[in-house]
């Protein structure tokens, strides 16, 4: 059953289709009275931008509502054939509805596995290209054919390393998430808590396939910024000419002013190109924060638990990176750089 993207309350349908697929009306959530899912009428570009901006509503739409929740006007049934109006019917009708719901859930589970495979292969390829472009340093004096063969072999090793590390990270996150959710479930049973009243709509609809899919969606922000840095790298100015002419009087004035505040100067020096590794910050800091945010949305639990889950995934990925770094890097220096960029 789909959920409201604002309050996560379960709702039987998200919109009503009338004469054609382009003639529909959004439905209101019975709990918060907002539109249950406004993203059903958004285009792909808007959804992708909101996903990069880490909006929790778009996570809920993609994970729980995508391809479900429509109702045909006049017949009282959803697009999946589940009856949403009326008194519920007799026992035979209820049995048919249950079979239809189980069938639709199995179809959605199959769809999520296919989506994980397609999206995972695409993002692993992009990540491998970014890391290969950063780690590889081809010699300009080498032969072109020899350089191409060496570069291709290096890229294949990088691709294999990224694939193995991604599998380890997702497996660690999924196992840790399952342990945390089962522990919370037994804790609520031990305290005698009514699960139907205290568990949100997300937790009721959560499946294990949602977790790796969330991690893939969360990595889009990191990969988008890393791709931008790989394409538009900062070019240092040449020694013969400066790209920007600066007034000498104004330059002396700013230098004199800044030297009066040594703490400010020290803080600004952190952002120098030779001291701040932007790729490392985006991959490690921003990548970890976006993954934690996605898990916070899909697991709907305390941020302390999501932080612990992320740490478990990092430990699993780092252990695998230690194992494959010498083979992927080819030498000690490149292997150390591979380990530095192995955190998601």
CA distance 202 to 330: 45
pLDDT at 216: 92
Please identify which residue in the block is written with the tokens 């995972």. Answer: 120
Sequential pLDDT tens for the chain (344 residues): 788 888 888 888 888 888 766 677 888 888 888 888 899 888 889 999 999 888 999 999 999 888 776 777 655 544 444 444 444 444 444 343 333 444 477 788 888 899 999 999 999 998 888 888 777 755 444 444 445 777 788 888 888 888 998 899 999 999 999 999 888 888 878 877 766 666 677 888 888 899 999 999 998 888 888 787 777 665 554 444 444 444 455 445 445 555 555 665 555 555 555 556 677 777 777 888 888 899 998 988 888 999 899 989 888 888 888 887 777 766 666 666 666 666 55
Q: 184 and 333 share a domain?
A: yes
pLDDT at 99: 38
pLDDT at 288: 82
* Cβ contact 227:130 at 8 Å: yes
**303 half-sphere exposure, CB direction, 13 A CA radius:** 5
pLDDT at 23: 75
Residue 101 within any structural domain of the chain: no
Tokens of 129: 């290209």
In 3-state terms, what secondary structure has residue 28? strand
Asked whether the CA dihedral 250, 256, 260, 263 is positive or negative, the reply is positive
The beta strand positions in the chain, using DSSP E, are 15-17, 24-26, 70-72, 77-78
Q: 191 and 51 share a domain?
A: no
CA distance 166 to 153: 20
pTM over 0.85: no
Q: 27 and 133 share a domain?
A: no
Q: 167 and 63 share a domain?
A: no
pLDDT at 251: 47
CA distance 61 to 43: 13
* Cβ contact 62:51 at 8 Å: yes
Q: Quick one: 72 exposed, middle or buried, by C-beta within 10 A (0-12, 13-18, 19+)?
A: middle
Tokens of 285: 């800091």
Residue 169 within any structural domain of the chain: yes
Please choose, from the candidates 314, 263, 269, the residue with its C-alpha nearest in 3D space to the C-alpha of residue 288. 314
CA–centroid distance for 183 within its chain: 25
Q: Tell me the β-bridge partners of 72.
A: 17, 77
Residue 99 within any structural domain of the chain: no
Residue 88 within any structural domain of the chain: no
Please identify which residue in the block is written with the tokens 């509502």. Answer: 65
Q: 119 and 38 share a domain?
A: no
Domains of the chain: total: 2
pLDDT at 270: 54
Q: 116 and 186 share a domain?
A: yes
Q: 158 and 30 share a domain?
A: no
Residue 16 within any structural domain of the chain: yes
Give the domain extent around 55.
1-74
Q: 62 and 168 share a domain?
A: no
Q: Tell me the β-bridge partners of 26.
A: 15
């Amino acid at each position: 059953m789909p959920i409201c993207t604002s309050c996560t309350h379960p709702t039987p349908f998200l919109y009503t289709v009338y004469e054609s697929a382009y003639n529909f009306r959004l439905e209101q959530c019975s709990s918060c009275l907002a539109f249950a899912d406004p993203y059903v009428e958004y285009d792909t570009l808007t959804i992708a931008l909101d996903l990069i901006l880490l909006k929790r509503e778009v996570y809920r739409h993609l994970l729980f509502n995508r391809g479900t929740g429509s109702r045909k006007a006049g017949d009282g049934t959803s697009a999946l054939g589940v009856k949403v109006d009326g008194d519920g019917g007799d026992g035979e009708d209820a049995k048919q509805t249950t079979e239809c719901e189980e069938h639709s859930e199995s179809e959605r589970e199959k769809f999520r596995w296919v989506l994980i495979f397609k999206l995972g292969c695409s993002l692993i390829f992009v990540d491998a290209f970014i890391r290969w472009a950063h780690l590889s340093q081809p010699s300009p004096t080498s032969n072109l054919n020899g350089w191409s063969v060496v570069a291709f072999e290096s890229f294949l090793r990088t691709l294999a390393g990224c694939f193995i590390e991604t599998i380890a990270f997702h497996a660690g996150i999924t196992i840790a998430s399952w342990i945390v959710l089962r522990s919370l479930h037994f804790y609520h049973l031990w305290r005698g808590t009514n699960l139907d009243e205290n568990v949100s709509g997300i937790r009721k609809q959560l499946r294990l396939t949602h977790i790796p899919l969330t991690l893939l969606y969360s990595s889009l922000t990191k990969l988008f910024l890393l791709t931008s840095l790989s394409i538009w790298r900062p070019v240092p100015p040449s020694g013969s000419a400066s790209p920007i002419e600066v007034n000498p009087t104004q330059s002396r004035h700013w230098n004199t002013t800044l030297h009066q505040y040594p703490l400010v100067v020290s803080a600004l020096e952190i952002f120098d190109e030779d001291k701040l590794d932007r790729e490392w910050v985006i991959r490690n800091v921003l990548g970890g924060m976006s993954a934690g945010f996605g898990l916070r949305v899909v697991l709907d639990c305390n941020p302390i638990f999501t932080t612990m889950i992320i740490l478990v995934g990092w430990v699993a990925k780092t252990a695998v990176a230690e194992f494959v770094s010498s083979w992927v890097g080819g030498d000690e220096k490149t292997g150390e750089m591979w380990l530095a960029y192995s955190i998601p």
